[in-house]
Structure 1
């Protein structure tokens, strides 16, 4: 298992991965904060800190460069592996299907999971997401349009949503 930190416009993004598959990530330079996102029983016994140029991170680095360069859909190509209940796994998979620039409310996300009354469960799925950005839980907001929570801070969530909205705006000529 390897860990590295990328410089991004939203601050340092630390990623825990194995063979290019993301297990956890977050906007921090503190490795332990990212490691704590993985359930204790599923944390790797050994983690090596490497440079962002490590070959095992090539696909992740390329996706980040494309994402921040104007292709928000690029993060969907990065494989992830998370550990949780069947509902959590289904929720994290569903988060990856939310298009950039088209956030859902927690109620809409619950309905997309086939559990329209399970809004709190939907919110907990977002809160327990270990692979931030690559599983875009930031694309879920409150019914009143306010941001709700985000493990890595509301400034980062606001920035990600604004970045994606700009890229998906037809007047910019983007939409990747």
Structure 2
């Protein structure tokens, strides 16, 4: 078992509201996102980090390099988030589902049913929705790209107005499908 570390966090203003990122450092000294979302209160984020990854605390810093990616995303580079390293932990289905979420293209959201099928378990629509609900790394693991079967927004930890804003932004800036 590893000793909990002290993570770092920073907040940047975005069109939907303040966005905070919590990073830890991996064995190579690289920043790894362990939580992120539309809040200025880091406690809202630390509470959703898996207990095996939860740091002993988090210190506020003025700037993190990953915030450059967030600003690039909101400037129209919606694919900028694709290369951000994220660490989450749970059971095998959730781990795989979070990886699959990262393959849902900007501007082309899935329904929960299509997302479940993309995960290789077409009957597991509730489990797919649960993967979205338990995602601690909002934006970088784009759970906002999954909609209800009726095309409605469904839920979103950070509120449906934030989800709508993200979807509209991506629709306006996503690369044209080949």
1:144 corresponds in structure 2 to 150
User: How far apart in 2 are the matches of 1:21 and 1:78?
Assistant: 8
Structure 1 unaligned spans of 5+: none
Q: How does 1:25-64 map to 2 (within 5 A)?
A: 25-52=36-63, 57-58=64-65, 60-64=66-70
Match of 1:21?
32
Q: Give, in angstroms, the shift of residue 42 of structure 1.
A: 2.9
User: Which 4+ stretches in 1 moved above 6 angstroms?
Assistant: none
CA RMSD of aligned residues (A): 1.3
Match of 2:3 in 1: none
Normalising by structure 2, report the TM-score.
Answer: 0.89
**Are the aligned partners of 1:63 and 1:77 in contact in 2 as well (CA < 8 Å)?**
no
1:1-176 correspondence to structure 2 within 5 Å = 1-19=7-25, 20-52=31-63, 57-58=64-65, 60-168=66-174
Return 5+ residue gaps in structure 2 as ranges: 1-6, 26-30
TM-score (norm. length: structure 1): 0.90
Rounded to whole Å, the distance in 2 between the matches of 1:74 and 1:155 is 22
Q: Contact 1:106–1:122 (CA<8 Å) still a contact in 2? A: yes
